[in-house]
Amino acid sequence: MPTVRVADLKDGDFLLDVREDDEWKAGHAAGALHIPISEFVARYGELTEAAPQDGRIHVICRSGGRSAQVAVYLAQQGVDAVNVDGGMQVWEAAGRAVVTDDGTPGHVL
């Protein structure tokens, strides 16, 4: 399954966060689309509407396990999707911004 390192992500890359609501509310990457893995299949249409037509979807969770499952599912649907290795834990450790819904600093649960 294709993966990408947090260090290789660029500003403007499309990011899909599949963590649950409490994790998202504590802190997330600004601009990410949030669809919890528990609701993913039912809300798949939201992803197809928001994602760039010919672009890659970078899937992220806390540590990489749940996002790997979603990335595999997307790849099976013919979507260009990759798992973000190490997830939001690595994102935060790398000094990337973690924010709450109101834009204030957040943290990774």
Q: Which residues are catalytic?
A: 61
Secondary-structure breakdown of the chain: helix, strand, coil percentages, each rounded to the nearest 5: 35, 20, 45
Secondary structure of residue 83 in the 3-state scheme: strand
Q: Which helix (H) or strand (E) holds 82?
A: strand 81-85
